[in-house]
Structure 1
Amino acid sequence: MDLSGKVIAVTGAAQGIGASICQELSAAGADLALIDLNTDGLLRTQALLDTESETYPIDITDESSVEATFAQIVKKWGRLDGLVNNAGILADGLLVKRTDKSISKMSLAQFESVIKVNLIGTFLCGREAVASMLNCQSKGVIINISSVARAGNIGQSNYSASKAAVATLAVGWGKELARHGIRAAAIAPGVVKTEMIDALKDQAKERLNASIPLGRVALPIEIAKGVRFILENDYYTARVLELDGGLVF
Structure 2
Amino acid sequence: MKLQDKTIVITGGGQGLGLTMALSFAKDGANIALIDLNEELLKESVKKVAAAGNENIQVNYYLANVSKENEVEETFQQINKDFGGIDGLVNNAGILRDGMFVKAKDGVVSKKMSLENFQSVIDVNLTGVFLCGREAAVHMIEGKKEGVIINMSSIARGGNMGQTNYAAAKAGVVAMTTTWARELGRHGIRVGAIAPGVIRTAMTDSMKPEMRDRLEKMKPVGRLGEAEEIAHTAKYIFENEFFTGRVVEIDGGLCM
Is it true that 1:68 corresponds to 2:74 in the alignment?
Answer: yes
Once the two structures are TM-superposed, the CA of residue 248 in structure 1 deviates from its matched residue by: 2.1
2: CA distance, partners of 1:131 / 1:64 = 15
Is 1:124 aligned with 2:131? yes
1:29 aligns with 2:29: yes
- 1:59-82 Cα shifts (integer Å, max 9, x gaps): 111111100011101111111100
User: Structure 1 regions of 5+ residues with no counterpart?
Assistant: none
Q: Does 1:83 align with 2:92?
A: no
Match of 1:109 in 2: 116
**Which position in structure 2 is the counterpart of 1:18?**
18
Structure 1 residue 140 corresponds to structure 2 residue 156: no
Q: State which of 234, 238, 241 in structure 1 corresponds to 2:241.
A: 234
The CA distance in 1 between the partners of 2:249 and 2:255, in whole Å, is: 10
**Percent of pairs identical after alignment?**
48
Corresponding position of 2:211: 204
TM-score, normalised to structure 2, is: 0.95
| C-alpha deviation, 1:52, in angstroms | 1.3
Other structure's SS at 1:29 match: coil
Q: How far apart in 2 are the matches of 1:102 and 1:186?
A: 37
**Deviation of residue 42 (structure 1)?**
1.1
CA distance, structure 1, for counterparts of residue 203 and residue 82 of structure 2 = 36
Instruction: Work out the CA distance in 2 between the residues paired with 1:141 and 1:134.
Output: 11
What CA deviation, in whole Å up to 9, does each residue of 1:174-195 have, x standing for no partner? 1111111100010000001111
Shift of 1:102: 4.0
TM-score using structure 1 length: 0.98
Matched, 1:38 2:46: no
Give the superposition deviation at 1:103: 2.9
Residue in 2 that maps onto 1:245: 252
1:8 alignment partner in structure 2 = 8
The one-letter code of the counterpart of 1:173 is: W
- Contact kept? 2:126, 2:170, Cα under 8 Å: yes
Q: Which amino acid aligns with 2:103?
A: K
The number of residues matched between the two structures is: 249
**Which of 82, 95, 101 is equivalent to 2:101?**
95
Confirm or deny that 1:156 pairs with 2:163.
yes
Distance 1:168 1:218 in 2: 24
Q: Which runs of 5+ in 2 are unaligned?
A: none
